[in-house]
Amino acid sequence: MANISTSVQPRISVPTRTSIRLRKVLPYLLIAPSLAVFLVFDIWPIIYSFYLSFMKWNLLSPKKTFVGLDNYITIFTSEEFLKALWHTVVFTIGRVGGSLTFALLLALLLNTQKRWVSWVQASIFSPHVVSMVSISMLWLWLMDPNHGLLNYLLSLVGLPPSRWLAGVDTALLSVIIVTVWKAIGYDMVIFLSGLQAIPEELHEAAKIDGANSFQRFWKITFPLLSPTTFFLTVTSIIASFQVFDSVRVMTGGGPVDATTVLVFYIYQHGFRFYKIGQATAASTVLFLIILILTVLQFKYAEKKVHYD
């Protein structure tokens, strides 16, 4: 019986026009639900808020009256708005500078493989997962000028008590302290991940060349941490300009408007005084400030970021 050898040829499927079109359209179909949510809940409110900033509307009446730039003129000639803007700038500088500085110091101290370090890291990080409202309520008790724990500790070391949240000169600083305390754990974890991504060989080579600890940090660690620092700086500035919950719970903008920030100003004029035009004008200004600061950081600060 003769042996018949047969060879099986692989079948090559030729894509049809329908399959080619489907492959092109499929990515857009997959992102369509998320894109729709983004457009409805993010983009449209921004556009509509910008539209309302040119209107006079009390929120309770369906009637809206076009007033042009009157709302913008009103807020920029208002001492209350300018004070809120200044308080927001001061808060941002204190929150971003304090949080990033202490978080970097803690990350450098805790960047070891010892067992107890993980427990310390978890303890410092834990406030980040707690809601700001809960933390604000806790610190209201700690900073009570009459019966608070902080003043009791000050009395033990012979220092005079502070009015904390009740003092015009100390209220904004107190809010900054609480916000830094909450944010420092998250910033520390991000810095730790950046530190652990730096090759140890670079430090060993620098040590062999005679570089001391500070020189190794300044010439190796800090430049290689620039992507992490840049990321935390951008996100922290954006979050700081939008601070609201801690001010709302702890001080209500007081005492004597000492802690009124931009978002709280928008909340007051929009939902207390029903001046929607002025509130949306202030929110538009806030949006433009954050946008300009972010663009400037990406344009100028990112040039000093080393990704290699």
Residue range 96-153, pLDDT digits in tens:
999 999 999 999 999 887 778 889 999 999 999 999 999 999 999 999 999 899 999 9
Spatial separation of the C-alpha atoms in residues 76 and 288, rounded to whole Å: 14
Q: Which of 68, 91, 64, 59 is nearest to 243 (CA)?
A: 91
Residues counted in the chain: 308
Average pLDDT over residues 16-31: 82
Max mean pLDDT among 18-27, 114-123, 153-162 falls in: 153-162
Q: Which of 291, 274, 288, 295 is nearest to 56 (CA)?
A: 274
CA quadruple 247, 248, 249, 251: dihedral, nearest 10:
60
Give the single-character DSSP code of 254: -
Residue indicated by tokens 């410092």: 124
Confidence of residue 36 (pLDDT cuts 50, 70, 90): very high
Confidence of residue 22 (pLDDT cuts 50, 70, 90): confident
- Collect all residues with Cβ–Cβ distance below 8 Å to 150 and sequence separation of at least 6: 142, 143, 162, 164
Domains along the sequence of the chain with CATH: 93-264 (1.10.3720.10)
Cβ burial, residue 181 (10 Å; 0-12/13-18/19+): middle
The 10s digit of each residue's pLDDT in 213-263 is 888 889 889 989 999 999 999 999 999 999 999 999 999 999 999 999 999
State pTM to two decimals: 0.88
Average pLDDT over residues 32-58: 93
Specify the pLDDT at position 142. 95
Specify the pLDDT at position 59. 84
Spatial separation of the C-alpha atoms in residues 133 and 204, rounded to whole Å: 46
Q: Which of 192, 173, 61, 71 is nearest to 125 (CA)?
A: 192
Question: In whole numbers, what is the pLDDT of the chain averaged over residues?
Answer: 90
As beta bridge partners, residue 202 has none
Secondary structure (3-state) at 12 = coil
The 10s digit of each residue's pLDDT in 194-210 is 998 888 888 889 888 88
Q: Which of 216, 238, 212, 236 is nearest to 225 (CA)?
A: 216
- For the cut 60, the answer to whether the pLDDT of residue 14 exceeds it is no
Secondary structure (3-state) at 65 = strand
Specify the pLDDT at position 1. 46
